[in-house]
Amino acid sequence: MSIQWKQYDTGVHFDELIGTKGKPRKPAYNLLEYLHSLDENELETRRQMAEATIQEMGVSFTVYSEEGNIDRAWPFDIVPRTIAASQWQQTAEGLKQRLKALNMFIADLYDKQEIIKDGIIPGHIVLKSKNYRPECVGIKPAHGVWAHICGTDLVRDADGQFYVLEDNLRVPSGVAYMLENRAITKRVLPELFEKGDIKPVDDYPARLFDTLVSLSPRRIKRPEIVVLTPGIFNSAYFEHAFLAQQMGAELVEGSDLVVGKDDCVYMRTIAGLERVDVIYRRIDDLFLDPEVFQKDSVLGVPGLMRAWQAGKVALANAPGAGVADDKVVYAYVPEIIRYYLNEEPLISNVETFLCDDPEQRQYVLDHLDELVVKPANESGGYGMLIGPHSTKKEQAQFAKLIKKNPRNYIAQPTLSLSTAPTLVGKGKLEPRHLDLRPFVLQAKDSYVTTGGLTRVAMKKGSLVVNSSQGGGSKDTWIVNGEGC
């Protein structure tokens, strides 16, 4: 029995694929028409094919637990999410605008701090951020860019428009899964790629490589680029290895690198020491250099900051970029865009309440049962309070946390996150909430991925999309044509 879209209940949410009265949205028409032609057994066969492909390709992620680190197969739903190319083009321009302004903001913070002097953002908000690095003051990275790779989380509310939920400028992850999602989908639904309406995503590794090459302090034909990983026990190690392989770069750990007396960074090889020009680091700031940051770190490279400050090696993302990653700073991004670019933001923020402000804090405390409360610098969905799904005890605990450290918390309305059809049983499709993480590159030029990593909450009614907390993923299709 084939799927009847008129029987698919979108509820009160904006559904990415199904419009009013069960009619497919324009970008999803060919996809839904094709899925409609498949019976339950064929859909189940395609789902099993996806699982087998994931196993064959070794696509996995690591979950940290009390029992230890567990490698799990990548959770994947075979029904893609579709977005019109016309809407995506506007969104991509907004993402470029946002990262350009954020990079100007970071550069200003580690230089003249004019945005603070002009009263646009309070000094204590940024200078007391756990990701502000005084050690970076006075450094001038290539092209004036600090955050070269950004993963910006987008959501759609009930109005169908994209909103920025947060920026990730430290060591954003997930792009390898975006690429693998496409590879899996091409195996499972190959017929749908024949027309060429779906825009490709496979140029990202080449774009990333070009971005990194442009940072090289040596103007040579083939700079030495390495990906610095914490090692196999890191949750994103699959991605580190994947991107290194795709770029033809070396995957290294801190013990593979050494800083010489000339302040250059060298990689240990069988043939001897070889100079490194650019390090795509996937290690947090505090573990990068035990001479400067955490003294007992065995993940980093002694002297690395000295080499970077001397201009002998490039680091992407630059240390200190995470100051703009702070969820409290996020609330000021519209003003940051206006201040540095003299432009209106092309993509809006989600309404945000700052607990650092006494009046806004009282509103949050009075409405904890309605709001989503987030700590300033946690990731992965940890440390949050989702008000409508919380208990009185949890609300009381968060009230204490907010009063103790108001600077560390923001609150946002509980969004009516958009949904998309998701396979939840044999031939059974139900709406599940999702978000989107596109990736933005900036150096001499800017680039935005064609779509991004769609994360989906596999549990009915859940708003938590993180894979570490039971979420899954879908392929994201940017489809030629108009409409939303």
Residue pointed to by tokens 């909450």: 457
Q: What is the mean pLDDT of residues 217-233?
A: 94
> Which pLDDT score, from 0 to 100, does residue 6 have?
59
What's the rounded Cα separation, in Å, for the pair 27 and 482? 8
What's the rounded Cα separation, in Å, for the pair 366 and 362? 6
State how far Cα 163 lies from the chain centre: 14
Candidates 161, 71, 145; CA nearest to 108 is 145
Query: Does 2 have pLDDT greater than 70?
Result: no
Query: For the segment 85-124, what is each residue's pLDDT rounded down to a tens digit?
Result: 999 999 999 999 999 999 999 999 999 999 999 999 999 9
CA trace torsion 25, 30, 31, 37 (10° rounding)? 120
pLDDT higher at 274 or 38: 274
289, 254 Cβ separation under 8 angstroms: no
Please, what are the domains in the chain?
Answer: 5-83+420-479 (no CATH), 218-312 (3.40.50.11290), 352-413 (3.30.1490.270)
CA trace torsion 453, 459, 463, 468 (10° rounding)? -60
> Which pLDDT score, from 0 to 100, does residue 21 have?
75
Query: For the segment 455-484, what is each residue's pLDDT rounded down to a tens digit?
Result: 999 888 887 777 666 678 999 999 986 555
- Among 2-16, 292-306, 307-321, the range scoring the smallest mean pLDDT is 2-16
376: DSSP letter: S
> Which pLDDT score, from 0 to 100, does residue 455 have?
94
Average pLDDT, the chain: 91
Q: Are strands 428-437 and 419-425 parallel, antiparallel or unpaired?
A: antiparallel
pTM above the 0.85 mark? yes
- Bridge partners of 153? 166
Helix (H) or strand (E) holding 272: strand 272-276
- Among 377-386, 407-416, 432-441, the range scoring the smallest mean pLDDT is 377-386
pLDDT band at residue 160 under the 50/70/90 scheme: confident
- Among 170-179, 226-235, 377-386, the range scoring the smallest mean pLDDT is 377-386
119: DSSP letter: T
Query: For the segment 187-219, what is each residue's pLDDT rounded down to a tens digit?
Result: 999 999 988 799 999 999 999 999 999 999 999
**In which region does residue 246 sit, left (phi positive, over 0), alpha (psi from -120 to 50) or beta (all else)?**
alpha
Task: Report CA-CA distances (Å) from 344 to 14, 145, 216, 303, 422.
Answer: 26, 21, 33, 42, 36
- The C-alpha angle 85, 86, 88, rounded to 5 degrees, equals 60
> Which pLDDT score, from 0 to 100, does residue 312 have?
97
Residue pointed to by tokens 């998309």: 420
> Which pLDDT score, from 0 to 100, does residue 377 have?
73
**Dihedrals phi, psi of 222, to nearest 5 degrees:** -130, 85
What is the C-alpha radius of gyration for the chain, rounded to an integer number of angstroms? Answer: 23
What's the rounded Cα separation, in Å, for the pair 397 and 415? 23
What's the rounded Cα separation, in Å, for the pair 304 and 279? 10
Q: What is the mean pLDDT of residues 414-436?
A: 88
Residue pointed to by tokens 């001038």: 140
> Which pLDDT score, from 0 to 100, does residue 61 have?
66
> Which pLDDT score, from 0 to 100, does residue 383 have?
81
Instruction: Supply 421's token pair.
Output: 């059809």
> Which pLDDT score, from 0 to 100, does residue 233 have?
86
**Dihedrals phi, psi of 210, to nearest 5 degrees:** -65, -40
24, 5 Cβ separation under 8 angstroms: yes
Residue 379 corresponds to which amino acid? S
